[in-house]
Chain A
Amino acid sequence: MHAGHDSPQPDAARPMNGPSSAPATGARSLQLNADGELHHLLSIEELPRTLIERILTTADGFIAVGSREIKSVPLLRGRSVFNLFFENSTRTRTTFEIAAKRLSADVYNLNIAASSTAKGESLLDTIDNLTAMQADIFVVRHGQGGAPYLIARHLAPHVHVVNAGDGRHAHPTQALLDLYTIRHYKGDFGRLSVAIVGDILNSRVARSDIHALLAMGVTDLRAVAPLTLLPDGLDQMGVRVHTRLEEGIRDADVIIMLRLQSERMRGALLPSAQEYFRNYGLTPQTLRSARPDCIVMHPGPMNRGVEIDSAVADGPHSVILPQVSFGIAVRMAVLSMVASSQPDSK
């Protein structure tokens, strides 16, 4: 992709950016309008805590809608939402589709196989064509970090972008639904111990979760992984690093497991899935070192027997399926909030 200097390209080899050194490209001005309303959702970084809380409160309203006989509201009637997925996804794409349909929007799903060449050109051409078809909101997943920023900069002021995962950079709606889930089961963030376990280095979910949890005032946040899967700079952000699982989840209220991508095994970062499971797989035995009332989360899709034992995934601490349900309400909140924001020229 020819995003060039125009686009933040977070690189796993570089330290994870802290809140004070967020992408140099001014996420605030891109994401928020002059009134501080959410205009695009690109990243959790630099979203004020009050805005994050408003998203969660709006999602509460949509949870109530989801329990009615008629599960849709007329908010986005006549608006067009384009799901633009350059990377495969089932859960995220489906929940965005359900969210948009429950808001009465017209939804178009485009699964575009990413070609490795000339993506910069073709990406913006695609956007121009779809905008000419009266798109109001683009939900974008792209293999390159920064692609949604490139689109946001390119768009007419009345069109909105929601990032559904860009490269290793960010997955903001996953982080918001994780916050919603934690708030639902555990309440006040300030008193919680939260452990994120797994491939922190390559995970956009981990990045967004860390920014989100710090923004909400979590003071005991831990990253648990083998050294080869940990980025630099976590300490400076206030995240404690652990390389042993039982130590890392000791007395934790919340454990967020990450998916181990099989390609990491080929890259010689890890010896084998079996050995990873022996050291970092969450089992009923290792779970005993966490608080007895802890919750276990996973963004999916899970590798049973690699990062998580089935007895835990299906056990009493697991809130993995409620996460999926909450994800619909959170995405309804994000879609309706960006759609109701006014361009700055107001």
Chain B
Amino acid sequence: MLDLDAESIYFQLLARVREHVAGRHPLLVGVHTGGVWLAERLRADLQVGPEVGILDVSFYRDDFSQGGLNRGVRPSRIPFDVNGADLLLVDDVLNTGRTVRAAMNELFDYGRPARIELAVLIDRGGRELPVSTAMVGRTIEVPADVSVVLSRDDDQRLHLRLEHDVEG
């Protein structure tokens, strides 16, 4: 049985990020929705930047023609100049790497950042693109038909659970 205590995994991630960005002040960009919660939390704990950027990568996904837009889209919002910026992209789960690719494509349509790095709460393997990062809360192995789902309760505490995908 996997121990998925999201709060303690978050503190692992925070320690990794703090070590990695020491002496720098990256601007944080969260990927909807879990990545935004994590980015907000990291921003407060690291005391970097006035606000986090928000990306909904729906318009950049490569699985668009498989019904991609019908799950609903929220506006992206990048409240700072991306040109020359030191960016830290934050997501909840790293799997195929396709979301990261889509997010980088979208960021480049806002400008030319000086650097983009990646922080994720969970790395579940299964990469289909050359994406990797040292800023990981925990690396786990789960079967392909299982989703790792992050949620946040009313007290802003994070929770992780495993869900079997419904065929469809």
Contact = CB atoms under 8 A, between A and B. Distances in A.
Interface in A132-161: none
B65 A339 contact: yes
Contacts of A75: 59-60, 64, 69
B67 A58 contact: no
A337 B75 contact: no
B69 A58 contact: yes
Contacts of A68: 109-110
Interface in B42-80: 56, 58-60, 64-70, 72-77
B147 interface: no
Q: Which of A58, A336, A340 has the most CB of B within 10 A?
A: A340
B69 A63 contact: no
Contact of B74 (A61, A337, A341): A61
Contacts of B111: 69
> For chain A, which range describes its interface: under 10, 10 to 19, 20 to 34, or 35 or more residues?
20 to 34
Contacts of A341: 67, 70
A57 B74 contact: yes
B151 interface: no
Q: Interface extent on B, as a size class?
A: 20 to 34
B139 interface: no
B109 A35 contact: no
A220 interface: no
A64 interface: yes
Given A68-B109, A68-B110, A73-B109, A61 B59 contact: yes
Interface in A83-141: none
Interface of A: 35, 37, 54, 57-58, 60-65, 68-70, 72-75, 336-337, 339-342
19 contacts: A57-B73, A57-B74, A60-B73, A61-B56, A61-B76, A62-B59, A63-B75, A65-B76, A68-B109, A69-B109, A70-B109, A72-B109, A73-B60, A73-B109, A340-B67, A340-B68, A340-B70, A342-B66, A342-B67
Interface of B: 56, 58-60, 64-70, 72-77, 105-106, 109-111
